[in-house]
Structure 1
């Protein structure tokens, strides 16, 4: 199947508005797709994407997991930590980080996540009480995840707005820009310098936060270097912050579009996790992840040469009718289980999956204890334009407060 017959361009704004018809054609007509102009191959069917995630020998992470030129290359692990490594380096770093980033630490964080969510909701609902439209992303979904990461790391309250602004700056892309703009580079440097100072402070005097736990993490005398800790902190900002923001806004958007599915959630908040899972399936934040072929790989009678970029498309896999019944319907409570790939699969399964699910559950449950309905102003909603994540930069809503 040639590029001229089907075009997959991860930088195309039409594709960002609705990638799913493109994915459908790929799954049906070009399950192994090649775009020689942009220099990548792509897998779109559920079975192939899952197999791809689990093949961490032939499909390497060490040049990064993004198609963007500035994020690709042997330096990728500086900002993407063990996500941009292969074993044994990946396993070593991940195991050390896991010593600090424990399920117990995440569980113990939940009361603080609730407090942070409530504080942001107070502001949002104060504005909404006057009948004005509020931006769900600006006031809530865009603030909570980064503040939770700052809470986890031990960033002082007074610095959190600034840290959040730098994190936003790192991710921002203007229209037509496929590479990292100077403003994002500057924001990245500011963030790294800030974290460097934090690590130095903890080296002098440990506290009860994740930064200190990472400094203390040790296996048989092996410890994390400052650069490794910084790389992981930066990964949290890029991978942990942005994807959770998108998840919260995607849940709100698709809930609004499917009121029949959302109505039961107001009456039974135990359904919130099901709402989160269906959003992760139906419109996942992480749509496209890159791998680099090592040696060569034969798929669909085609040899993909060494060094080529292969894109895995979980966004497409989750709409594969070979695996899900009526995949284009948004059905809260459908059976998903292990078929979900929003957090990857295999050796690189997302270490922050527990944290993301907990944040989303807490945030949406707190929201629904305090409102009895909302409407999205779709005409003024603004999508994020990114080659690998999907979600909203702005989501204006009208809220009915309880």
Structure 2
């Protein structure tokens, strides 16, 4: 292990504003990094992060994938479902969930995703038509993903604003807070109680939604328990909602910063998926994922002891010049292929990758049908402060309507 004075603190606000200079130093000076104070190791190079994702034997998920102490521990699976499990438990639960959460269900959802996107876009465009500054996150990027999840699960329209507010509350962190605050715990309890009532209701009266499909999923007589269904619903709120909101805002921000790259997209929607992919590479929502060492692991001639926490940094991996040419340039259409790690890799590859990509494509496509340009008010943009996701809490902009 090389010695370097570079410091990685996932709770530091300066790091949240721009982590990429920190990552570069880590890759160059300390590819295996140790933070004694916060008690973790970190891998930052593309090949090492990929090896970490693919090693689900020595690197365990069962204590959770977040650095926040309250989220870590044997209870992690209660709110993070199979993401916080190892095989065989992980495989059993994932296989059962996959019976309900199918590619076909996602495909059939697309017309409804378009309708939900249009509803929020119409409101935003109407506000912007008078020259008013609109908050892209408040009006659009922050509403669409949670409404799509609610649509999938069968949450009634009337409850969606409330459910969305709880979901936001689960994720928010104030400066200097290195654990889950009591407001987030309260929001989590509210969500779980709401979903418990929903599950009980579907047991009595099945419906044509994912909640019912999960309750009915069965393999050789094995079914999901109510708690397992709840855990997956909660995972969708955390993993599926938050990251897609960030993806939509990051795409808009970097598009604005690179106008030459998005100019052709106003007339050629076929390139929008490439915009989504480059955003996932250039500034991924999911920056840091934790694993727990089981047994012994060696990187760079250093043994990482059993039980230690190892952070995998996909945000850094995507800017590694060992894997990508000119990685700090935002280039729509570059060759990314299988090198993308935004959805992980290996056994825990994100089950919602299709859904996130479809939502982002639909959202950006519909937005670009309505506008011919936009400006971001960078001075008043506000970043999210989180130890593992990256994006905007507020992204004020003015739109040039078609």
Tell me the TM-score normalized by structure 1.
Answer: 0.99
Structure-2 separation of matches of 1:289 and 1:186: 24
| Residue 2 of structure 1, CA deviation | 7.3
Match of 1:44 in 2: 44
Higher alpha-carbon deviation: 372-381 or 165-174: 165-174
Structure 1 residue 396 corresponds to structure 2 residue 396 = yes
Partner-residue secondary structure (3-state), 2:330: coil
| Residue 179 of structure 1, CA deviation | 1.1
Match of 1:194 in 2: 194
Partner-residue secondary structure (3-state), 1:82: helix
Structure-1 separation of matches of 2:364 and 2:257: 16
Structure-2 separation of matches of 1:191 and 1:51: 35
Structure-2 separation of matches of 1:241 and 1:356: 9
- Residues 220-245 of structure 1, C-alpha deviations (whole Å, 9 max, x = no match): 00000000000000000000000000
Match of 2:33 in 1: 33
The correspondence of residues 138-177 of structure 1 with structure 2, limited to 5 A, is 138-177=138-177
| Residue 292 of structure 1, CA deviation | 0.2
Partner-residue secondary structure (3-state), 2:199: helix
The correspondence of residues 91-106 of structure 1 with structure 2, limited to 5 A, is 91-106=91-106
Instruction: Tell me, yes or no, if the aligned pair for 1:3 and 1:34 is still in contact at 8 Å.
Output: no
Partner-residue secondary structure (3-state), 1:292: strand
Instruction: Tell me, yes or no, if the aligned pair for 2:3 and 2:30 is still in contact at 8 Å.
Output: no
Structure-1 separation of matches of 2:174 and 2:313: 24
Match of 1:64 in 2: 64
| Residue 180 of structure 1, CA deviation | 1.2
Structure-2 separation of matches of 1:377 and 1:341: 30
Q: Which runs of 4+ in 1 moved over 4 A?
A: 1-4
Match of 1:381 in 2: 381
Instruction: Tell me, yes or no, if the aligned pair for 2:40 and 2:311 is still in contact at 8 Å.
Output: yes
Partner-residue secondary structure (3-state), 1:6: coil
Structure-2 separation of matches of 1:177 and 1:397: 29
Match of 1:19 in 2: 19
Structure-2 separation of matches of 1:188 and 1:20: 31
- What is the number of equivalent residue pairs in this alignment? 402
User: Unpaired runs of 5+ in structure 2?
Assistant: none
- Residues 119-166 of structure 1, C-alpha deviations (whole Å, 9 max, x = no match): 000110111011010000000000000000000000011111111111
Structure-2 separation of matches of 1:362 and 1:3: 46
Match of 2:210 in 1: 210
Match of 2:122 in 1: 122
| Residue 181 of structure 1, CA deviation | 1.2
Structure-1 separation of matches of 2:10 and 2:163: 29
Structure-2 separation of matches of 1:293 and 1:302: 13
- Residues 66-98 of structure 1, C-alpha deviations (whole Å, 9 max, x = no match): 001111000000000000000000000000000
Structure-1 separation of matches of 2:2 and 2:31: 12
Instruction: Tell me, yes or no, if the aligned pair for 1:3 and 1:35 is still in contact at 8 Å.
Output: no
Instruction: Tell me, yes or no, if the aligned pair for 1:3 and 1:36 is still in contact at 8 Å.
Output: no
Structure 1 residue 318 corresponds to structure 2 residue 315 = no
Instruction: Tell me, yes or no, if the aligned pair for 2:251 and 2:275 is still in contact at 8 Å.
Output: yes
Structure-2 separation of matches of 1:51 and 1:322: 15
Structure-1 separation of matches of 2:302 and 2:150: 46
Instruction: Tell me, yes or no, if the aligned pair for 1:54 and 1:345 is still in contact at 8 Å.
Output: yes
Match of 2:6 in 1: 6
Instruction: Tell me, yes or no, if the aligned pair for 1:288 and 1:314 is still in contact at 8 Å.
Output: yes
Match of 2:304 in 1: 304
Higher alpha-carbon deviation: 161-170 or 52-61: 161-170
Instruction: Tell me, yes or no, if the aligned pair for 2:54 and 2:345 is still in contact at 8 Å.
Output: yes
Partner-residue secondary structure (3-state), 1:81: helix
Instruction: Tell me, yes or no, if the aligned pair for 2:296 and 2:303 is still in contact at 8 Å.
Output: yes
User: Unpaired runs of 5+ in structure 1?
Assistant: none
Partner-residue secondary structure (3-state), 1:21: helix
Structure-1 separation of matches of 2:386 and 2:170: 13
| Residue 3 of structure 1, CA deviation | 7.5
Partner-residue secondary structure (3-state), 2:311: strand
Structure-2 separation of matches of 1:102 and 1:168: 26
Instruction: Tell me, yes or no, if the aligned pair for 2:4 and 2:29 is still in contact at 8 Å.
Output: no
Instruction: Tell me, yes or no, if the aligned pair for 1:53 and 1:344 is still in contact at 8 Å.
Output: yes
| Residue 184 of structure 1, CA deviation | 1.0
Instruction: Tell me, yes or no, if the aligned pair for 2:4 and 2:30 is still in contact at 8 Å.
Output: no
| Residue 4 of structure 1, CA deviation | 6.6
